[in-house]
Structure 1
Amino acid sequence: MSNSIAENIANFLKEYPPFNYLSHDELIQVATSIGVVNLDKHKTLFQIDDKLHDSFYVVASGVINLSVIADAEETLLNKCYAGDVFGLRPFFAKNNYMMTAKAREDSIVYAIPINVFKPFVAQNSQVLDFLLESFATNTRNPFDKENRGKLITDNVYTENQTTEIQYFQSLAYNKTPIKIAVTTVIKDAAQLMTENLIDSAIVTDQNQPIGIVTDTDFRSKIANGRFPITNTVEKIMSSPVITVPENVSVAEAQLLLLKHNVSHLCVTADGSDKSDVKGIISEHDLIVAQANNPGVLIKEIKRALSPKELKQVREKLTDLIQASIAKNIPLPHIYNISGEIITAIVKRSVELAILDLGSPPARFAWLSIGSQGRKEQLLLTDQDSILVFEDVSVEKYRDVKDYFLKLAKRATAILEKVGYEFCPNGHMASNMLWCKSLTDWIKQYNSWMKTPGEKSNDISSIFFDYEIAFGEGKIEDAITDVIFNNSKNNVLFFDYLGNDTLRKNPPLNFFKKFNLEEDGEHKGKFDIKNRAIMPLVDGARLFAISLNLRGINNTYLRFKQLAMIDPKYSEIYLNCADAFLILSKFRTLEGLKNDTSGDFINIDELSKADREKLKNALGPMKELEELIKDKFRLTQFS
């Protein structure tokens, strides 16, 4: 390629990450090796199941559509414009493409050889970080908020593009690797590997790794006659070994293989070559791991034909949550992934009920409420839901409602078998009170909001946190419109809701000691749900409705958004957001440890540091309480 063409390509690339992290000379080196591909409109560059190319691609001009097959339909995943990078799968996997790349219009793309670009990935931490974050999050360019030069990967997790899963995705690997001494004869090592059907052996000294022998070494160093098989493995082993700790993530492992251009990683006790060998990770292990992610779980859910199969997926989700907590992944990311999978489980439960009963006689919406509606349910707690069906004629109403009650009873029974207990308060779609027509639901919300307190035993604030799991989105929108229309200048309703928020027993007593349960099954324990977490949940909901914050149900996200739309009190909202995450993590750890709802914590089992951390997280609650008293006239229901 002539210098002038290479110069032009280099000048183009430097405007977009990750190329803007390279020097001019490095860009010229890349540009000189680039292949220019002209694509006519609708021409395919690669498609699903094609063998991987030896290049990845940058759009020079035009538009490239990336699509996947979901439920037997081709779904457009993204559009790539000038500067966008795509087709990165050859960097990270050996199996075929999982996307189709097709020109939306006449386009030109640059093909950058993987072997040319690999050294820049290994040598430049910013390029490595770009690829790592982009690969793990599967999003547009994470460094470019204006979407210029977005990087599209070829790993499809779910239709909704779950985030950062591979940072904490579990990685199964061989925990009983073959270990041999440096004096082992090559022939004996080869025979041992053949007998055990394994492609590697770790050379150790006092159980610490000093080298590794793989099938590749036999092909490149023995088969061609470089060394006789009577030599010791010291002659052909690769040394030093690239080592990783036991909790290494899929993304981290993939990038280390890429960075060091190796096919295996040695797992050791502390991640260094100075500690005991614990296992071996191969490229094959990483390919298998890519099939064990939320996207696959979603597919398993869609194929499930029984509660037993759904329960198996839910158990995998618990493992995923536990692994993410162990790696200190931010809780909002875990909520996002968990929420999508749980919603899919609920949806499939409704679908199985429909398969059993036959087609619904009217359109409807199944709404998860409470913690499921807020996408905050990490532990196996009880289920909460309502069912809203479209208005029908008077003569059809009874039959239609009977159908939906039967449907709801079947669906909730399936969810109970999955592990979600029936709501002790009966807040489920299978309860005839919470399964009714849109008009009846509008009357219900009107009653709750216009005359609060008159039938206070019927109202629960969880009915104001909901997420559609199945059915007509327009029905959910109609409920939302009713709530926010009724909230305008509704002093009485916010008086009721504000007092209800402040009615919880305080978490700390006058002497700043934890208020513990005085009797019952949980005597001596701290009720972290009702004394600490729920006041924050209730407060976030109260301000969200009063400030017309639609479409955001998650408590953490509500507080973050409130800080933006009500900047005068942003510090309080942000403190509450942080406190909510800390308290939720305490509850989740408790629940995972004891296989419970995590609602009650034994304070005595916490370290001194954790007790102080927990106590400090309760501080913002007082600020929130004072803000509620200041913002709302809490008189009639005080």
Structure 2
Amino acid sequence: MAANIIATRIADFLKKYPPFTSLSKEELYHISSEAVVCHFESGDYVFRQGEAGSGNLFVVKEGVIHLERQEEDALVLVDICDEGDLFGVRAMLSGKPYVFHARSAEESLVYALPVALFKPLIESHSQIAMFFAAGLAGGQAGLLDTHTTKRFPYQDSGSLLNWNRPLEKTHGELVWMAPDKTIKEVATVMTDKKIGSMVLCYANGELAGIVTDTDFREKVSTGKASIDAPVSDIMSTDVVTMPLGQPLSNYLLKMLRHKIRHICITTDGKPIGMLSERDLMAAHQNHPVTLVYAMEEASTLKKLTDLRNQADDLIRFYLEQQVSISLTASLATHINDALIRRVIDIALQEVQKKSGAPPVEFTWISLGSEGRSEQLIRTDQDNAIIYDDVNGSTEDKEKVKQYFLQLGGKVNDMLAEAGFEYCPADMMAGNPQWCQPLSEWKQYFSGWIRQPQEKALMLSTIFFDYRRVYGSESLLVQLKDHLKKEIRDESIFLNFLAKNALKNPPPLSFFKNLVVERSGEHRHEFDIKARAMMPLVDIARVLSLDIGQLDEMNTVARYHLLAREEPKRKELYHAAADSYEYLMRIRALNGFTHHDSGRFISIENLGKLDRQILRNTFEPIYQLQQMLELRYQLSYFN
């Protein structure tokens, strides 16, 4: 009877903590009935480094257990386990000796659970397997191969919007014709078959090109090509192809990135069918492309704002359903870009009524998180205008500047009405400082690089993450080439930028508590942006600029590129990418919950599992900071 009471008490304790929360009452009791209660005085060892595994998994009931690693003559504190924490996992999973000391830092009670009973539960419970795969037990981070397990949970097969579901077949059989057929013949078949695109193949089945409704509108109806000419005259040879069987999200991402509406599906390199945006829309209701189409046709700011509010609901749903962050962020970026472009069109129409067409080419760029395609929730604006240099008098130059300032101000006001708040630091296109000709922007970039003082470094971290949303691509290419040359000529700038990247203190205290704000409005809250996200963003930027990579601004994509450039550090870079994706998700969900930017998180409202996952995301930050310290010899830069 006493044993039954003890087992019940152990089960009642365990069910409060992950991963035991996933077990049934019967499973918990079965494990608890075989558990051993162990008492340790301060300084006692539960096990020592190098000892053979005891056949138990340990859970702290009361007290504190330090996990320590012996390194030559030094004893390194690896982790601190308190109430509800598990340890001894490595030996359980690997069957190898313990790699740490486990020492009681104060009088402690520990439950020893038999591995023989617990190990089968890992195989039968996916949530428990995910717990260990994510490295959520004491001293376990980095235990499993990141290529065979996912560090954070992804959507399961039962999700309402299962973007991980593979494309099993195309809609109907492939309709194709030869490239030497006439435009009229191809158009007739497309009309009869009621299809919006036609794949063109050679006699051996190899792909030659593609023609779409857009080609007929832009090249035939305008008189540029005769209907009796071969269709090869108007076809596109740069056909985007993908193999059958990829997750639906991959096809959608490809469409968004290439700004296309059709993908040719292949098997063994031969075309077998077409996939269109309409097909994807049919696969899922509430498809974001529907919102984008509606935004592109919206005639009023109110309609745009209503549509963007709908998008918030969709983005939040994606986050809650564990749709991948890369897809969710791409969709949010695509929606925001569609809104910004439509706002610029509306503002241009108003400006043109008074001042005529734009006097020279210009580019609207997004900066900061939006420039990196990472803005999941609407925050304040960061944008600028680059326009072509004016050859003329001072008066002519001033007229051009006033034209674009007027446009920038109108767009900023309209975006604010649509829920994108004004930038508190006024880093917006309506500010004369950030509405400049290309030559002035080149001088800005050169000045920041050649005189890397505190303000220059701060501006670099904002303006070097830029992305064209509207207007001339050529202007941005010229600015990018200038930036690349300046960094190559003034490489010492990267040392200062690296030093600046380490300005934020570590996210954890020595005792692995989350470092929270000590005063002010957000006292006792965790600043996830400054403490965790910005260090990862800043480090990725420095390393990318160092290798001359200026085409990709997204932080996760930067780390994946770095992993390919430095194979020896690929595990660290992939871990940094995973951490950043998790931080993006938790911040966005916090923002949606509290109707703010999500930057400050109440630690008290986080469950133990969430706190542990959050702590584990910080390990790559420490390693990257140490790497920067050595690589750029930052001890010499004060």
Q: Same fold per TM (> 0.5)?
A: yes
Which residue, 303, 328, 337 being the options, matches 1:343?
Answer: 337
Local SS of the residue matching 1:381: coil
Match of 2:305 in 1: 311
Whole-Å Cα distance in 2 between the matches of residues 350 and 132 of structure 1?
32
Match of 1:388 in 2: 386
Match of 1:366 in 2: 364
Local SS of the residue matching 1:488: helix
Contact (CA 8 Å) 2:176, 2:201: kept in 1 or not? no
Deviation by residue 1:375-421 (Cα, 9 ceiling, x = unmatched): 10110111101111111123311111111111100001011011000
Match of 1:324 in 2: 318
Whole-Å Cα distance in 2 between the matches of residues 295 and 67 of structure 1?
19
RMSD: 3.6
Deviation for aligned residue 1:46: 6.6
625-634 or 558-567: which moved more?
625-634
Whole-Å Cα distance in 2 between the matches of residues 568 and 327 of structure 1?
34
Deviation for aligned residue 1:308: 1.1
Local SS of the residue matching 1:601: strand
Whole-Å Cα distance in 1 between the matches of residues 200 and 395 of structure 2?
62
Deviation for aligned residue 1:459: 2.5
- Sequence identity percentage: 29
Amino acid at match of 1:505: P
Q: Structure 1's 128 and 410: CA in aligned 2 closer, same or farther, altered over 3 A?
A: closer
Whole-Å Cα distance in 1 between the matches of residues 389 and 496 of structure 2?
30
Contact (CA 8 Å) 1:524, 1:602: kept in 2 or not? yes
Local SS of the residue matching 2:467: strand
Q: Structure 1's 482 and 630: CA in aligned 2 closer, same or farther, altered over 3 A?
A: same
Q: Structure 1's 527 and 34: CA in aligned 2 closer, same or farther, altered over 3 A?
A: closer
Amino acid at match of 1:399: K
Q: Structure 1's 565 and 518: CA in aligned 2 closer, same or farther, altered over 3 A?
A: same
Match of 1:67 in 2: 212
Whole-Å Cα distance in 2 between the matches of residues 36 and 500 of structure 1?
57
Contact (CA 8 Å) 2:506, 2:622: kept in 1 or not? no
Deviation by residue 1:574-619 (Cα, 9 ceiling, x = unmatched): 1111111111111111112222211111122122111111110111
Match of 1:11 in 2: none
Deviation for aligned residue 1:318: 1.4
Whole-Å Cα distance in 2 between the matches of residues 140 and 60 of structure 1?
18
Contact (CA 8 Å) 1:390, 1:437: kept in 2 or not? yes
Q: How many residues align?
A: 433
Q: Structure 1's 580 and 58: CA in aligned 2 closer, same or farther, altered over 3 A?
A: same
Deviation for aligned residue 1:343: 1.5
Contact (CA 8 Å) 1:134, 1:140: kept in 2 or not? no
Deviation for aligned residue 1:456: 3.9
Show the 5 A alignment for 1:165-564.
166=280, 251=283, 289=285, 292-358=286-352, 359-392=357-390, 393=392, 394-453=394-453, 455-456=455-456, 459-488=459-488, 490-564=490-564
Match of 2:161 in 1: none
Local SS of the residue matching 1:459: helix
Deviation for aligned residue 1:326: 2.8
Contact (CA 8 Å) 1:294, 1:337: kept in 2 or not? yes
Contact (CA 8 Å) 1:64, 1:103: kept in 2 or not? no
Q: Structure 1's 65 and 598: CA in aligned 2 closer, same or farther, altered over 3 A?
A: same
Q: TM-score, normalized by length of structure 1?
A: 0.61
Q: Structure 1's 143 and 621: CA in aligned 2 closer, same or farther, altered over 3 A?
A: farther
Show the 5 A alignment for 1:51-130.
61=203, 63=208, 65-69=210-214, 73=218, 104=232, 129=245
Whole-Å Cα distance in 2 between the matches of residues 429 and 153 of structure 1?
41
Match of 1:205 in 2: none
Match of 1:583 in 2: 583
Q: Structure 1's 551 and 524: CA in aligned 2 closer, same or farther, altered over 3 A?
A: same
Deviation for aligned residue 1:41: 3.7
Local SS of the residue matching 2:277: coil
Local SS of the residue matching 2:212: strand
Deviation for aligned residue 1:424: 0.8
Whole-Å Cα distance in 1 between the matches of residues 200 and 359 of structure 2?
51
Contact (CA 8 Å) 1:408, 1:429: kept in 2 or not? yes
Match of 2:186 in 1: 44
Whole-Å Cα distance in 2 between the matches of residues 396 and 319 of structure 1?
47
Contact (CA 8 Å) 1:516, 1:526: kept in 2 or not? yes
Deviation by residue 1:293-330 (Cα, 9 ceiling, x = unmatched): 33332222222222212112212221221222233221
Contact (CA 8 Å) 1:491, 1:633: kept in 2 or not? no
Deviation for aligned residue 1:58: 10
Amino acid at match of 1:298: V
Whole-Å Cα distance in 1 between the matches of residues 369 and 481 of structure 2?
21
